[in-house]
Amino acid sequence: MDIRSALGRALKTLRNSRGLTQEDFSDVSSRTYLSTLERGLKSPTLDKINALAGVIEIHPLSIMVLTYLAAEGGTVDDLLAKVRRELGEVAPE
């Protein structure tokens, strides 16, 4: 699955899991724009991902994790282990 479609799927899944409508995002996005994101037609900015995460009340990385799981497959544990490894190489604790 391409990354924009995967992001759209992640946003819609998260929105539905919280019982939110597209209209609930009106303070940060129009319903039309959110719909284009969910259909994989547009790519949001980092600021927009942060704002959308705020409405959903999750960390923005949760959106990205679900996005890459949809795009690449695998498990949350495998993806997070890879991220930990990569971050450990550039930013050791």
Measured CA to CA, the distance from residue 11 to residue 35 in angstroms comes to 10
Mean pLDDT, to the nearest integer, of 86-92?
86
Domain ranges of the chain: 3-90
Whether 20 and 72 have beta carbons less than 8 Å apart is answered as no
**Which tens digit of pLDDT belongs to each residue from 67-77?**
999 999 999 99
**Which tens digit of pLDDT belongs to each residue from 9-46?**
999 999 999 999 999 999 999 999 999 999 999 999 99
Identify the pLDDT of residue 93.
67
Identify the pLDDT of residue 82.
94
Q: CATH number of 3-90: 1.10.260.40, 3.40.50.11540, 3.20.20.80, 3.10.450.50?
A: 1.10.260.40
Mean pLDDT, to the nearest integer, of 3-10?
97
HEC letters along the chain: CCHHHHHHHHHHHHHHHCCCCHHHHCCCCCHHHHHHHHCCCCCCCHHHHHHHHHHHCCCHHHHHHHHHHHHHCCCHHHHHHHHHHHHHHHCCC
